[in-house]
Structure formats: structure tokens, C-alpha cells
Structure 1
Amino acid sequence: MYIGQAAHRSGTTIKSIRHYESIGLLPAARRQGKYRVYDQQSVDLLIFIKCAQQLGFKLKELQAAFASQNGQPLSWVHAQQAITNKKQEINDQIAALTQRHAQLVEFERSLQNAWKDCPLEGP
């Protein structure tokens, strides 16, 4: 299939496909004359990339995961490790945000107490 059909089937854009090829996420398509020709495996990889991006993966993270494969398709083991790493990153962000939220609650409480002690103004 040509690039337009691959884009349509994968839910990506032609521009994205060209970009993924240029940064090494997608193997270069074989050519038929001046046209790029894609197979179902390429479409599946495009769907994987799009899904991973929607789940918070950056293209650089995907590049790193794919680079460890030495040109081979991404294995389940490497995909699972990338997912585990991303989940840990999200857990760390949740912990940091939870701590920041608690600090804001405490800061708000201290301001309310200060306003109570101030005879001129209050909340």
C-alpha cells in the first residue's frame, strides 16, 4: 500500500510517517518507482507508535527502545520494560504532585490562621 493508505489505516498523517522514517522509528519503506510502499507490519508499527504517544511516551523514548533492538522489531520484553519505566515515571509524578498539593493545603491553612489573627482584614 502507498503512504496515503498506510496513513489512513494507522490513523496517522503522511507527514508523521515521513518524520518517523527520518528519525529511525519506522524502517524505510521499499520503493516502487518513486512511491513508498508499506506492508501491514509497518501499519501495525505506526499504530503502536500512535498509541504509545497517546499514553505519554515521547518519540525520544520510543527511539531509545527501538535502538536497543538493532534493527529488529520491538520485542515484547523491551516493550514491557518501556511500559514499566513509564508507569514508574507516572507514579513518581503523582507522588510529587501529591506532596505539592499537601504543601498548598498547609500554606492555605497558615494564611487563613494569619488572617484570623489580623484585626483589619479576613478572608
Structure 2
Amino acid sequence: MYIGKAAQLSGTTIKSIRHYEDIGLLPAPQRRGNYRVYCEQSVERLMFIKCAQQLGFKLKEMLAILDDHRGQTLPWEVVRNAVTHKKQAVMNQIQALQNQHAGLVEFETRFLGAHELCQLQNL
């Protein structure tokens, strides 16, 4: 299939596919004349890339996951480990945001209390 069909099936854009090829995330496809010809495995990889991006993976992280992989199927054990690490990183971010929120609530409470005290003193 040509690049337009691969983009349509994978839910990505032609520009993205070309970018993924340029950075080595997607192996260069075979060519038929001047046209790129993609196989089902390429579409599967494109769908994986899109899904991983939606879940917060950066392209550099995906490059590390797929670095030495040139086979027909995705390296699911490596993917599983990357997902485990990403989940832990997200949990750490959630904890940091909860701590930040608690600090803001405390700051707001103290600020409002101090502000009210200042207004009472002006009476």
C-alpha cells in the first residue's frame, strides 16, 4: 500500500510517517518507482507509535524501545518494561502535583487569613 493508505489505516499523517522514517523510528519502506510501499507491519508500527504518543511516550523514548528491533513483530517484553517505567513516572508526577496542590491550598489559606487581618487593622 502507498503512504496515503498507510496514513489512513494508522490514523496518522503522511508528514508524520516521513518524519518517523527520517528519525529512524519507522524503517524505510520498499519503493515501487518513486512511491513508498508499506506493508501491514509498517501500519502496525505506526499504530503503536500513535498509541504510545497518546499515552505520553516521547519519540525519543520510542526510539529507545525499538532501537535494535528490525524484526516483523514488536518487542513486547521491552514495551512492557517501558510501560511499567512510564506508569511509575506518571505516579511520581501525580504525587508531585498533589504536593504542589496541597502547598497552594495552604498558601491560599494563610494569605487570605493575613489579608483579612490586615484589613481589620486598618479599621
Q: TM-score, normalised by structure 1?
A: 0.91
Which residue does 2:103 correspond to in 1? 103
**Cα drift, residue 111 of structure 1:** 1.1
User: How many residues of Structure 1 are paired with residues of Structure 2 in the alignment?
Assistant: 120
In 1, are the aligned partners of 2:21 and 2:27 still within 8 Å (CA)?
yes
1:45-101 deviation per Cα after TM superposition (whole angstroms, max 9, x unaligned): 10110111111111111011111x343343111010111111111111101100000
Mapped to 2, the partners of 1:112 and 1:25 lie a distance apart of 52
Task: Provide the aligned C-alpha RMSD in A.
Answer: 1.4
- Greater mean deviation of Cα atoms: 72-81 or 55-64: 72-81
1:88-119 deviation per Cα after TM superposition (whole angstroms, max 9, x unaligned): 11111101100000100110111122123222
1:18-70 deviation per Cα after TM superposition (whole angstroms, max 9, x unaligned): 11011111111011111111011100110110111111111111011111x34
Mapped to 2, the partners of 1:61 and 1:55 lie a distance apart of 12
Report runs of 4+ in structure 1 exceeding 6 Å deviation: none
Q: TM-score, normalised by structure 2?
A: 0.91
Gaps of 5+ in 2: none
- Aligned identity (percent) is 57
Gaps of 5+ in 1: none
